[in-house]
Amino acid sequence: MENSYAEDISQVKSILTDARSVLILTGAGISAESGVPTFRGGGGAPVWRGMPFEQLSSAEMVEKDLPLVWEWFDYRRNLVGECEPNAAHQVLATVQQSERFSDFSLVTQNIDGLHQGAGASDVIELHGSIWQASCLSCKTTQSLREIPEDERPPICPECFDSMRPDVILFGEAMPVQAVYGAQKKAEKCDVCIVVGTSALVYPAAELPLIAKQSGATIIEINQEETGLSSQANISLRGKAAEVLPLIFAENDSPNLRLPENKKVGSLDS
Ligand code: NAD
Ligand code: ZN
């Protein structure tokens, strides 16, 4: 029989009471309520200046037209710069700072920097950061907050070659160190909470499975069913900014209002 939303929230809270090591994996959905554009939806393929997203954000375009890649990422960064972390980013940062769990790791596919904006630290950014540049030659990185926007492409302070956005682009390999770090966290967590990701692509899709194989409980928070739902122990169907504050609330408040009409599939496997 299907549990009610309230029952699932309390079950997750009780799982978290016993947890020591918690891994949070986030995707674009956690930033949806901050208004970060996804460049998806609307039916058609996302385009900017008539060019498909995949073509603009590609390793090939870095070689062909680096100034255009910068223009595109400056445009995106300025949009992201207008966005504020939401209650989901905030509660995760607060829990991390509270040291309630002996290990609390944040791994994200997002490049928007909103976890850090909320005060989180040591975030593993699987796809890089829109706030950082990296050198084409020596890979030195530098914060774009320190580089004026008219310096395009930015020049590497170490070797004086050009720099590019420090983001994993289409056609590029994943950053080995970040992926390895995330896999190690997945192997040793007791609870893995997957928030706002369709969890379709490697390595994000693999992390909850590694955690599960290592005995962890998998909790999914997503408005929709995903490829991971059948593997999750509990799937909470709701918005990240509503659900995360509820599950991390330390005590049940009599005034706690649950979103109405929420149904969840609770899958014990
Ligand atoms: P995705 O677009 O494939 O999936 C987003 C998921 O979030 C969906 O399953 C959707 O149902 C869910 N969702 C939407 N709103 C939600 C909400 N309010 N609360 C909870 N869940 C919600 O995103 P992905 O899995 O992260 O993969 C997309 C790729 O695009 C990644 O590579 C990512 O780097 C990139 N991307 C990043 C950003 C960003 O940095 N904010 C934004 C868009 C895309
Ligand atoms: Zn360099």
Pick the closest to residue 112 from 123, 104, 96 (CA basis).
123
pLDDT at 2 (0 to 100): 63
Q: In whole angstroms, what is the distance from residue 27 CA to residue 200 CA? A: 11
pLDDT at 48 (0 to 100): 84
Ligand 1 close to Cβ of residue 89 (< 6 A): no
- Measured at the alpha carbon of residue 26, what is the angle toward residues 78 and 35, in degrees to the nearest 5? 35
Ligand 1 close to Cβ of residue 167 (< 6 A): no
Percent residues over pLDDT 90 in the chain = 80
Confidence of residue 45 (pLDDT cuts 50, 70, 90): low
- Whether the pLDDT of residue 175 is over 80: the answer is yes
Q: What is the pLDDT of residues 152-169, one digit of tens each?
A: 999 999 999 999 999 999
Provide mean pLDDT across the span 100-119: 97
pLDDT at 212 (0 to 100): 98
Q: In whole angstroms, what is the distance from residue 22 CA to residue 244 CA? A: 14
- Whether the pLDDT of residue 250 is over 90: the answer is no
- Whether the pLDDT of residue 268 is over 60: the answer is no
- Whether the pLDDT of residue 249 is over 70: the answer is yes
Ligand 1 close to Cβ of residue 61 (< 6 A): no
pLDDT at 40 (0 to 100): 62
pLDDT at 199 (0 to 100): 84
pLDDT at 53 (0 to 100): 86
What are the DSSP calls for 109-142, one per residue? S--S-HHHHTT--S-EETTEEEEEEEETTT--EE
Ligand 1 close to Cβ of residue 112 (< 6 A): yes
- Whether the pLDDT of residue 138 is over 60: the answer is yes
Q: How far is the CA of 55 from the centre of ligand 2 (A)?
A: 25
- The distance between the two most distant Cα atoms of the chain, rounded to a whole number of Å, is 63
- Whether the pLDDT of residue 244 is over 80: the answer is yes
Provide mean pLDDT across the span 65-91: 96
Confidence of residue 99 (pLDDT cuts 50, 70, 90): very high
137, 161 in Cβ contact below 8 A?
yes
- Specify whether 127 is catalytic: yes
- Whether the pLDDT of residue 73 is over 90: the answer is yes
Q: In whole angstroms, what is the distance from residue 77 CA to residue 144 CA? A: 10
DSSP β-ladder status, 21-26 and 103-108: parallel
DSSP β-ladder status, 191-195 and 163-167: unpaired
C-alpha 85: how far from chain center: 12
Ligand 1 close to Cβ of residue 110 (< 6 A): yes
Q: What is the pLDDT of residues 13-39, one digit of tens each?
A: 999 999 999 999 999 999 999 999 766
Q: How far is the CA of 134 from the centre of ligand 2 (A)?
A: 8
Confidence of residue 252 (pLDDT cuts 50, 70, 90): low
- Whether the pLDDT of residue 54 is over 70: the answer is yes
Q: How far is the CA of 13 from the centre of ligand 1 (A)?
A: 25
Protein residue closest via CA to atom 25 of ligand 1: 197
Q: How far is the CA of 117 from the centre of ligand 1 (A)?
A: 18
pLDDT at 4 (0 to 100): 83
Pick the closest to residue 145 from 155, 133, 135, 153 (CA basis).
133
- Whether the pLDDT of residue 217 is over 70: the answer is yes
Pick the closest to residue 5 from 268, 238, 222, 251 (CA basis).
238
Ligand 2 is an ion; residues with CB less than 5 A from it: 135, 137-138, 140, 156, 158-159, 161
